[in-house]
Structure 1
């Protein structure tokens, strides 16, 4: 059976040519009631939170990292006398100063010890608590949120790009499109196609949705220049939708797997993250004040630097929060310490809190989703614990 996604990617029928940039990611969007906006950015590859938000005030850090995470002495910007912001995120310092950016150190999903990117990302997007739950739960936590929102308009949920994002998978309907796919057909050609696929329900549905998406202009993303071109275009596209009826957007940024040469690897990835957030802010305009951005990763990296100037797969990581709706300018949550007896399994930053709890409290504040629904249906088995007061 030919899926909608395969139909829209195919060039055999109507001259479509999928020429997506290799860095271009999927984006999922959905309409929901109210005026608050949520953007979830999945950081694929395990971002090193100890390098992004450098705990230079922890006396054990210099012994673990000889060349990484040197704090202000290495060019990072001091945040609060204990943490410093990686130099590549310096463009976001005005957001920190304005209280529009913060971070949660030492967080993770319940995923432990196996340290597989694929499993870790699946668990993050599915929002489950155990591997067994992951097998049972085939949908994503944003899709389950939509199912619990009486006023959600699921017909306007899209998955745009060349890869699926599990975070919005599920019974709530979605449409698919690749932003750089060229889909050109004249009015006469459209009538001919409609006649051809009229008696084929599969092609009639897929073709009709493709025409609808093209009519809305979703395939038009401005050409950009520079290494952050694609992510700026994607963020601008998301902002444009969020300024309309869309209230929830999710996309991913890859490139965080820094086993070797971490200085270069993480610098490039952070440039893209900063560009995405600043483009969202600029594009949203007044709606930035009603927006919350959650940047989440599947797990952290080892506390110790390895012999190739990188770090290996770990456990505890960090979550970045931004937006005019957040209560930023602070580290959100406790710090476990980096002493020998403080590390998880003697090698990783010890998680202090389930990252799903922060996401759940954000959903509670933004959309009024009851705690019981969040703990039972959206994030099965989660104990949200105390409110971290993410929102202003």
Structure 2
């Protein structure tokens, strides 16, 4: 049987007249039409299962030191019960301003098997079971709002962002997307497209989205005629900053939604060291978004970071944690009512743990996401519970937005 090729995978492999475009608007012409709302939403998928008990530490629970004492660290206090991982200390000014918050003891409806692939599929589908859904909850939300153009929402990065899969138009971009055209090929493209305004505009946009630092204009490319080559890929340690910079650029304009991933959360061994790089990338990304969009747009922005499941309450024999259940959601932005840890805390006593090993989830992680969508895009609760997040019971409004 031939395996279906996803739209994003197809775009990532496409080539035209000697160019390679990881997110090709030559195939999906984009519009700069404004969206029907003015707030901005950034959804970050933390792939690998972030340990919420380490990131937002319940040091006030008497069992925590026994379960996690080896992790240690000078964690800045949040509210007298929870403390923040030291690697996120740079985010404390946001906490003080009420622009950083958390929802603890949350999880998707996924239970027991603890597979990264299934957990991420369910998180991005936004459904209550693994039912083969091919569209993501952000795409369904876009379909319900209406008036959407492809540039309203961006799926960013090399990997597929299933949360934005679906029939609603969405633009794609990769940090190392490049158009590499010789002058002859560029001239040929101009001649072919000169009588078709739509294709001519699409070529201009393809050049704009391409990663060419020395590009002097929308239809001019500086290359070596004898050996046209793409710039080297962005070093992995800096790729997240490039993603944040591009995201901020779009959010300052007509884009209203962006989604991308941050990897590196699977900390089975030596977690006290293994989690540090991922936390550093997360802090970098949030602060780069804040600086990049500017104060006015930041006040209208919500950043939501979600992960497929949490990790075990107790350290394993190698100083790491294994796949668990309950975890934490991270929120940032001027639109967030931060400065607090939301959620119903279940406790860490053995009898309170899920299967006596994991943090017990007391809330569906889709519920806070749904309340944020309701506040930002104005969708009614019935639509959110039936269409965007099928099977969800949102419960009462937790007041996550200002």
The TM-score, its normalising length taken from structure 1, stands at 0.86
Q: Does 1:53 align with 2:62?
A: no
**Cα drift, residue 163 of structure 1:** 2.0
User: Could you give the per-residue CA deviations for residues 152-200 of structure 1, whole angstroms, max 9, x where no partner exists?
Assistant: 22455443433211000001133444331321336752463578899xx
- In structure 1, how many angstroms separate the alpha carbons of the residues matched to 2:128 and 2:103? 19
Cα RMSD over matched residues?
2.9
- Alpha carbons of structure 1 residues 78 and 138: separation in structure 2 relative to 1, 3 Å: same
1:66 matched to which residue of 2?
69
1:26 matched to which residue of 2?
none
**Cα drift, residue 210 of structure 1:** 6.4
After the TM superposition, which of the residue ranges 6-15 and 330-339 deviates more from structure 2? 6-15
1:213 matched to which residue of 2?
205
SS of the residue aligned with 2:331? strand
- In structure 2, how many angstroms separate the alpha carbons of the residues matched to 1:31 and 1:355? 30
Q: 5+ unaligned residues in a row in structure 2: which ranges?
A: 23-31, 215-231
- In structure 2, how many angstroms separate the alpha carbons of the residues matched to 1:172 and 1:79? 40
- In structure 1, how many angstroms separate the alpha carbons of the residues matched to 2:76 and 2:160? 36
Q: Aligned match of 1:257 in 245, 266, 275?
A: 266
**Cα drift, residue 294 of structure 1:** 0.5
Answer whether contact 1:32 1:248 (CA < 8 A) is retained: no
Q: Aligned match of 2:347 in 321, 337, 352?
A: 337
Q: Does 1:349 align with 2:359?
A: yes
Answer whether contact 1:38 1:291 (CA < 8 A) is retained: yes
1:282 matched to which residue of 2?
291
- Alpha carbons of structure 1 residues 49 and 312: separation in structure 2 relative to 1, 3 Å: same
1:245 matched to which residue of 2?
254
Q: Does 1:271 align with 2:280?
A: yes
Match runs of 1:1-392 below 5 Å? 5-6=9-10, 8-10=12-14, 13-16=17-20, 32-68=35-71, 70=72, 74-132=73-131, 135=132, 137-154=133-150, 156-185=152-181, 189-190=185-186, 192-193=188-189, 211-220=203-212, 228-285=237-294, 286-392=296-402
**Cα drift, residue 8 of structure 1:** 5.0
- In structure 1, how many angstroms separate the alpha carbons of the residues matched to 2:312 and 2:8? 41
Q: What count of residue pairs does the alignment treat as equivalent?
A: 369
- In structure 2, how many angstroms separate the alpha carbons of the residues matched to 1:11 and 1:360? 38
- In structure 2, how many angstroms separate the alpha carbons of the residues matched to 1:153 and 1:96? 34
**Cα drift, residue 211 of structure 1:** 2.2
**Cα drift, residue 236 of structure 1:** 1.1
Answer whether contact 1:291 1:325 (CA < 8 A) is retained: yes
- In structure 1, how many angstroms separate the alpha carbons of the residues matched to 2:121 and 2:201? 28
User: Could you give the per-residue CA deviations for residues 319-338 of structure 1, whole angstroms, max 9, x where no partner exists?
Assistant: 01110011111111110000
SS of the residue aligned with 2:20? coil
- In structure 2, how many angstroms separate the alpha carbons of the residues matched to 1:192 and 1:224? 27
